[in-house]
Amino acid sequence: MSVQDYLDKHLLSRKIEDAVNAAVRAKSPDPVLFIANHMRKVVQPVITKIKARQILDSRGIPTVEVDLFTNKGMFRASAPSGDPSGMYEAFELRDGDKAVYLGKSVTRAVKNINEKISEALIGMDPTLQSQIDHAMIDLDKTEKKSELGINAILAVSIAACKAGAGEKEVPLYKYIADLAGKSQLTIPTPAFTVISGGKHAGNNLAIQEIMIVPTGAIRFDEALQMGSETYYHLKAVITEKHGAHGCNVGVDGGFAPNISSIKEGLDLVKEAISRTEYTEKISIALGAAASNFCQGTKYDLDFKSPKKSGQNFKSGEEMIEMYKELCAEYPIISIEDPFDKEDWEHIKCISNLGTCQVVGDELLMSNPKRIERAIQENTCNALLLKINQIGTVTEAIEVVKQAKDANWGVVISHRSGETEDSFIADLSVGLSSGQIKAGAPCRGERLAKYNQLLRIEEDLGDAAFYAGDEWRQPLSHQVV
């Protein structure tokens, strides 16, 4: 036993003795409860240990998991990951050794936590989220967090947030709301991925996903039921038209039938919705991820097809007309990244039409500088927040406030590489984002988020407010 361990143990024994004596003096009818409450007051909240490890995400690719210890216990968190897509997002640190996990292992990030970050944070108060996050940012000293790795920093930041909630003895979503200065809480309207395409599936569909949004539900549990039932009606529709092999799924759990046009996918979804009792209660959202099929100034909607006809090359203006037609024909309320991440003019054009919400994903990268530019230029009107693009809980809170102050919509988003960590569910409620996307209503790493929202709604009881058809500005009628 080290000298410090001896002193810590001796000090704890003295505090327990003091608590027992206090209980005797007070003649407490419940001395055990009295001692427990007394100890909570005298034992200062402090991070005592941080231990990181490498685990696998939902794609079978390594990511970082952290156990953060305080006097209250152990708090675990893991970092989601996606396909790095540009110079504007924070840096995900990987080993690069092609002989181990094809270069994707994260032992360097793990080592950074176990040695550098641990040394810097042990002894800090876990309830001081901003100080913890900025301590890591200062330790890294790079703009993109490339020294320590965003995967290392984020996992610790989330674990510290959970520990802070534990110290305060409040639910995680309530603690996040307190950090953000929110007095009202909102259960977000979910956007369920039901058809996958783009780089997330092996079919010929150019856009990344088609989602259903239960805006007409009254509660989240009803929204989840709508999503699940429609998903399985869609499975039946696809089986009838494309056979059972058409029900293979993409990385987010959406079905991946061998379709090549957006309309073909939308017709399948429309048919599935018509087989439910929710025809007027379910809207549709598109995740275009158009950077994936942009070639110069043109957009190749056949970019995955082995038999390209050349007929599906569209200019920016032709893409705008296509989106206008789709929004007129189908109940589409939101489109993510309808154009390339550097095609600001065409994104601005479709945003100014006012036909639907236009969400910046790769356009913004959750980067405050990109968000500020988009606000100033009226480029889009919603933020897709991916927490591993920004890096810490504190920074996530700040960019959501930045977007909300501009009257934007906010979508809290999962990543293609997910874990069982349900943190973004609590984050979406605590920040009253109004919108969340966590993939299909299937697969454990996706359902972890949706099931946590069920628990939160149950916990809130009559105080639960489901965003529903107020998904863009869920607190507009309430005093915040």
Looking only at Cα atoms, what is the longest distance across the chain?
Answer: 88
Residue 336 is labelled as binding a ligand: yes
Pull the structure tokens for residue 120.
């810097």
Q: Is 413 helix (H, G, I), strand (E, B) or coil?
A: strand
Catalytic residue among 252, 302, 340, 343: 252
Cβ–Cβ under 8 Å, residues 319 and 271: no
Residue 252 known to be catalytic: yes
Residue 413 is labelled as binding a ligand: yes
Nearest CA-CA partner of 108 in 73, 59, 62, 139: 62
Give the end-to-end CA distance of the chain in Å, rounded to a whole number. Answer: 52
Cα 308 to its chain centre, rounded Å, is 35
Residue 325 is labelled as binding a ligand: no
Cβ–Cβ under 8 Å, residues 431 and 412: yes
**How many helices and strands in the chain, by DSSP H and E?**
16, 14
Residue 17 is labelled as binding a ligand: no
Residue 200 is labelled as binding a ligand: yes
Residue 426 is labelled as binding a ligand: no
Provide the Cα torsion 317, 322, 325, 326; round to 10°.
-140
Distance (Å, whole) CA 471 – CA 468: 6
Which residue(s) pair with 263 in the sheet? none
Cβ–Cβ under 8 Å, residues 276 and 229: yes
Catalytic residue among 182, 235, 386, 404: 386
Residue 414 is labelled as binding a ligand: yes
Pull the structure tokens for residue 379.
């480029």
Residue 324 is labelled as binding a ligand: no
Residue 437 is labelled as binding a ligand: yes
The set of catalytic residues is 252, 386
Binding residues: 200, 209, 336, 361, 413-416, 437
Annotated binding residues for Mg(2+), written as ranges, equal 336, 361
Q: Which residues are annotated as a binding site for substrate?
A: 200, 209, 336, 361, 413-416, 437
